[in-house]
Structure 1
């Protein structure tokens, strides 16, 4: 599992001081970067073969300006050519938002999904959530 502390920026909030609903998915994307890096040997993110097939967000509590948030990103499911990333936003010890992103390993040249290598699957398995078993 990857964990990152983020500072809520003023421009991410609305008139009530809540983080805007469009910001949470962007934070989830930031949390996915270490996963993308697993799919490239040279660290060139432009070579990553992953595409987003689905993104769901559950907004559980408002997130406020002036307090740090913790972003948790983990692997929730591993399939043949796709996998799920779980994401959570925590503030003041409370879960404020959670979501799932389905990523597909994709061959852009030939226009279809391709299997995830066993070596990459082994790396993905190292990033599961300690409290959530992998979905099958």
Structure 2
């Protein structure tokens, strides 16, 4: 797999649930934040292609408990690439314990044409970043 992006996300007191650990939905929000930041790096003006992304499947394996405050690092990898789809894979670690993997996840993204509402080939601006080399 090719690493395509890395970001950090702060954990907030409000991210914790009633038993004092970060709620499982926050893991998905962290993955989403990394995904959106990656998409925003490559605006439609680059190749004049307004296709947008929808998520058709997502999952997370919770490996270690997280508590706030703190910051997590999310690494984004390009997984399987199809005609109109990309599986992004994620690794999450606390920045103060970078050797400890706390979660892994994935999201299958499909590009959609705003004109037809149907899947469309991955825009070149994204496809070019996915080439391993």
The TM-score with structure 1 as length reference comes to 0.78
* 1:67 Cα deviation after fit: 2.9
Deviation at 1:116, TM superposition (A): 1.7
**Relative to 1, partners in 2 of residues 1:88 and 1:65: Cα closer, same or farther, differing over 3 Å?**
same
Q: Deviations over 1:48-95 (max 9, x none)?
A: 511111111111111111332211112112111100111121121211
Counterpart-to-counterpart distance in 1, 2:37 and 2:11 = 21
Q: Which residue of 2 aligns with 1:87?
A: 90
Per the alignment, in what secondary structure is the counterpart of residue 22 of structure 1?
helix
Q: How many residues align?
A: 123
> Does the C-alpha gap of structure 1 residues 84 and 39 become closer, same or farther in structure 2, counting only changes over 3 Å?
farther
Quote the RMSD (CA, aligned, Å): 2.2
Aligned counterparts of 1:84 and 1:115: Cα–Cα separation in 2? 14
**28, 36, 56: which one pairs with 1:53?**
56
2:80 touches 2:87 (CA, 8 Å); kept in 1?
yes
8 Å CA contact 1:75–1:125 kept in 2: the answer is no
Instruction: Report the counterpart of residue 78 of structure 1 in structure 2.
Output: 81
Q: Which runs of 5+ in 2 are unaligned?
A: none
Q: Does 1:5 align with 2:8?
A: yes
| Residue in structure 2 matching 1:108, options 99, 108, 114 | 114
Question: Any conservation in 2 of the 1:52–1:104 contact (CA below 8 Å)?
Answer: yes
Q: Which runs of 5+ in 1 are unaligned?
A: 129-136
| Stretches (4+) displaced over 6 A | none
Task: Summarize the Cα distance change of 1:11–1:78 in structure 2 as closer, same or farther, 3 Å threshold.
Answer: same
Alignment match, 1:41: 45
1:67 aligns with 2:70: yes
CA distance in 2, matches of 1:36, 1:5: 16
